[in-house]
A = this chain, B = another copy of it.
Amino acid sequence: MLDKLVIFGVGLIGGSLALALKRAGAVQHVVGVGRGGENLRNALELGVVDQAETNAAHAVVDAEIIVLATPVAQIPAVMAAIAPHLSSNVIITDVGSTKSDVINNARQQLPQHIARFIAGHPIAGAEKSGVTAARADLFEGKNVVLTPTAETDPQALQMVRQLWQTTGAKVSEMSAAAHDDIFAAVSHLPHLLAFALVDEIASRPNAAQLFGFAASGFRDFTRIAGSSPEMWRDISMANREALLNELSAYQNELLRLRTLLEKSDGDGLQALFEQASQARNSWMHRQSRK
């Protein structure tokens, strides 16, 4: 059992991690660190954390594991704030959606602790955010990716792996570059494509009429275009190169599709749609058996 876990940013992800570890009896004392606003008060009142702190230096004293669960843009500042106050054996991890940039941040801000900084990404989200949406079962059956480097301390890696396994997550490991490529393809690009479609329609003189006839297909396709613009700016910038590669591949695919349409090649269109619908339906089938 952990004696002291410190979580910077007690929102949906940080709060759900605290609840899952508490439910499992895996932690004695959880300290939540934030700016001292309503969310942090809620975290304390709801029993998600045992102690609420606004002072980073004070919060990290005697911590065994520190989890950085703030918005990604705040991570370098948090790292800089805690760096002078860390014990030599503390383990630090994060929950950000991109990993190469976080590791680069850690190299700069936490050079003494790089072997015990384990970059991580739990693949779990929900429509809602903030600690009031936190749930002990959020990570059950979900993927968590850890991206160790050549310098990583195997024991620290094992500790973070166990932390996530305790929540019911399936933990896998890969390089930060592999992680960023995969999520550029299956998450970051789809967000960009959905933002682009809604932006393009919203820019038109007859936008109100167009939205007036949009139905359930449009609703689901564009759900992710309702996501936080700041968060997606940060993710896009952090994973810019992988995202540009994915965008190129997609632009080429649209050119291919365009050529089929221009040639009135019904068989070619059907073959493309069939490969997509078969892949999508068998993916859903596998998901539902999980």
Contacts and interface: CB of A to CB of B under 8 A. Distances in A.
Interface SS majority for chain A: helix
Interface in A233-290: 233, 236-237, 240, 243-244, 247, 249-251, 253-254, 257-258, 261-262, 264, 266, 269-270, 272-281, 283-284, 286-287
Nearest to A282: B211
A135 B264 CA distance: 36
Contacts of A185: 201, 210
A88 interface: no
Contacts of A223: 217, 220-221
B249 A251 contact: no
A216 interface: yes
7 contacts: A190-B218, A196-B257, A227-B273, A229-B277, A233-B273, A240-B261, A240-B264
A128 interface: no
A225 interface: yes
B281 A226 contact: yes
Interface of A: 123-125, 142-143, 145, 182-183, 185-187, 189-203, 207, 209-230, 232-233, 236-237, 240, 243-244, 247, 249-251, 253-254, 257-258, 261-262, 264, 266, 269-270, 272-281, 283-284, 286-287
A21 to B, nearest CB: 22
